[in-house]
Structure 1
Amino acid sequence: MHRRLFHTSTILFILFISTLLYSCKQKEKTEEVETVDTTTAILKKALTFYASFDTSVDADFALGDGRMYTVPNRQARDSAKVGLHKPDIQRADGKGKYDAGLVFTKRSPGYIYYSSEKNIVYNTENWSASISFWLRLDPATDLEPGYCDPIQITDVGYNDAGIWVDFTKENPRDFRLGVIGDRDVWNPNPEGPDNENPIFNARLTGVKNPPFSRDSWTHVLINLSGLNTENGEASLYLNGEHQGTRSHIDTPFTWDYPLSNIYLGLGYIGLMDELSIFNRALTETEIKALNSLDKGVQTLLE
């Protein structure tokens, strides 16, 4: 009789512990889902621009002008055409991270861009933002000689209130983040090419042997905070992992805002997809969440 009672008590205790563990696991799963949903909602609120390239080169979501433009050179703004008009760049189905994407096939004259106005929330006193996109290429074999900027955001050029990432001009190629303030402040007495100037190079955050490949997509995220203050910061993330931060950026970034643009694929050869911009610097949790969205940024709009 005592053995039966002991056996029954043991079974009940095991059932109780099993039920308790199951409840804890279900609670953890629920909390994880709630955390993901909360992060997604917060990211959606911060979104200012998104181009998936799935059905068009125009943005899926934009606070400003969402149309893509093509221009023969930066000075020929009056000659800009709406749409994609460079034969060496195509929007191709099945070539993107999730569906369609942009395919850059060779280095050639001309530029494609989106307007920065309202799509990037620029501020002359305290400016923060995040820029996110995906690349797929083998830098050593796909790129032609010379510097290559997959993205460049400026009203003048790379060396004057410019924000960009680039591959260096020779193999093995480094991948660098440039956040370069007003040229007349950081280099008032220029001598020689700016991109060979030690003062210029000190303003870059670089990655040697970056993890780019033809076989997989690499997520690139630029985090900007506090620009146009005495303590601005710029950070680079690849595949959700922090690669470096430049702190104490005190050089001003002065834009003629309506003339500033988001240029894509300057000298770039490879695939690009999922360009999105947010109105503040993202946290590391948000960056990892953005990096792992099942359907990309489109998830935020559903």
Structure 2
Amino acid sequence: MSYYKTTLFRLLLGSATLLFFNSCKTDTGYADLKAALTLYASFDQGVDADFALGDKHLYTVPNRKARDSAQVGLHKPDIQINKGKGRFGDGLLFTERSKGYIYYPSKDNISYNTTDWSGAISFWLQLDPATDLEPGYCDPIQITDVSYNDAAIWVDFTKENPRDFRLGVIGDRNVWNPNPKGPDNENPIFNKKLTGVKNPPFGSDVWTHILINFSNLNTPQGKASLYMNGELKGTRSNITTPFTWDLELSNIYLGLGYIGMMDELSIFNRSLTDPEIKTLYTLENGVHSILN
């Protein structure tokens, strides 16, 4: 073999080897994310989750205590699938603030643990908070068996313009607020448990990626972080208040007071690394990419 052919062969072999290892690295990263996934709703084929370890159905209920009145499917006229307008494919459109709730059951769809609980929650939002939201607090997602102030994980927009965007990881109310006085959401103890973003990067014509990362809840080393568009925006450490759920009553509520678009809800059974969070943010075809 001539010198030039030998050199060309080595270059081609080196390139092929590099591509092979890069491919393996990417596939391994996707495989790790796929293995950690517990719920994924793309809203491309309706409101049922594309993937779920628990109940895949979305439910509509008139209020939190009326579980016997829950209906399978989407039964709120102010919420609809918006064809072709999601971050990828279709998305979920909330058009007004109204009574009632929609949710996926938490059981098996979120990896709740009484002794050491970790996980991650990922989704996309599109809205202009200053012009789209009606007055009052607004929670695009809230996961709890009781309410926002009692063993709950959520993000919200504050009630007045200019609106902050906040992460709440709030333990058992009878522990953090045993002698309640006045509204909890105005309690300094409550507000110290939040981490937030002023002038958050939302807009009516842009999609913003939200990721809630939490680890070691129900231990003395509890921690929770808020990421937006792949970047860390705030962290709470040393979360020691316990999170006690009646798992049968816990739900993943969507769009409480929210007006705007939502897409690509995914939940994982462990906290994610910074590279994995960047991967979720930059996926070209959404979470479908890690399922294929």
Same fold, TM-score > 0.5, yes or no: yes
Does residue 222 of structure 1 match 2:212? yes
SS at match of 1:41: helix
Question: Per-residue deviation at 1:244?
Answer: 1.1
CA displacement 1:210-238 (0-9 Å, x = unmatched):
11111111110000100000010001111
The CA distance in 2 between the partners of 1:25 and 1:78, in whole Å, is 61
* Structure 1 range deviating more: 288-297 or 113-122: 288-297
Does residue 165 of structure 1 match 2:130? no
The verdict on how the C-alpha distance between 1:16 and 1:195 changes in structure 2, with shifts beyond 3 A counting, is farther
The verdict on how the C-alpha distance between 1:18 and 1:214 changes in structure 2, with shifts beyond 3 A counting, is farther
Q: Give, as a single letter, the amino acid of the residue that structure 1 aligns with 2:270.
A: R
Q: How does 1:182-201 map to 2 (within 5 A)?
A: 182-201=172-191
The CA distance in 2 between the partners of 1:194 and 1:213, in whole Å, is 30
The structure 2 residue matched to 1:138, chosen from 121, 128, 131, is: 128
Q: How does 1:170-185 map to 2 (within 5 A)?
A: 170-185=160-175
Question: Per-residue deviation at 1:36?
Answer: 1.3
Q: How does 1:1-302 map to 2 (within 5 A)?
A: 27-302=17-292
Question: Per-residue deviation at 1:17?
Answer: 8.5
Q: Give, as a single letter, the amino acid of the residue that structure 2 aligns with 1:199.
A: I
Is 1:274–1:297's contact at 8 Å kept on the other side of the alignment?
yes
SS at match of 1:226: strand
The verdict on how the C-alpha distance between 1:13 and 1:197 changes in structure 2, with shifts beyond 3 A counting, is farther
CA displacement 1:221-266 (0-9 Å, x = unmatched):
0001000000100011111111111000000000000100000000
Question: Per-residue deviation at 1:34?
Answer: 2.1
The CA distance in 2 between the partners of 1:23 and 1:172, in whole Å, is 57
Larger radius of gyration: 1
CA displacement 1:2-35 (0-9 Å, x = unmatched):
xxxxxxxxxx999998987776665544433222
- TM-score, normalising length: structure 2: 0.95
Question: Per-residue deviation at 1:95?
Answer: 1.6
Unaligned runs of 5+ in 2: none
SS at match of 1:161: strand
* Structure 1 range deviating more: 165-174 or 24-33: 24-33
Structure 2 counterpart of 1:7: none
Is 1:36–1:289's contact at 8 Å kept on the other side of the alignment?
no
Question: Per-residue deviation at 1:295?
Answer: 1.3
Structure 2 counterpart of 1:4: none
The CA distance in 1 between the partners of 2:77 and 2:179, in whole Å, is 40
The CA distance in 2 between the partners of 1:212 and 1:49, in whole Å, is 25
The verdict on how the C-alpha distance between 1:16 and 1:151 changes in structure 2, with shifts beyond 3 A counting, is same
CA displacement 1:136-186 (0-9 Å, x = unmatched):
011111111111000000000000001000011111111100000000000
RMSD after superposition? 1.8
SS at match of 1:191: coil
Number of positions where the alignment pairs a residue of Structure 1 with one of Structure 2: 291
SS at match of 1:91: strand
- TM-score, normalising length: structure 1: 0.92
Percent of pairs identical after alignment? 69
Structure 2 counterpart of 1:8: none
Q: Give, as a single letter, the amino acid of the residue that structure 2 aligns with 1:273.
A: D
The CA distance in 1 between the partners of 2:232 and 2:23, in whole Å, is 25
Unaligned runs of 5+ in 1: 1-11
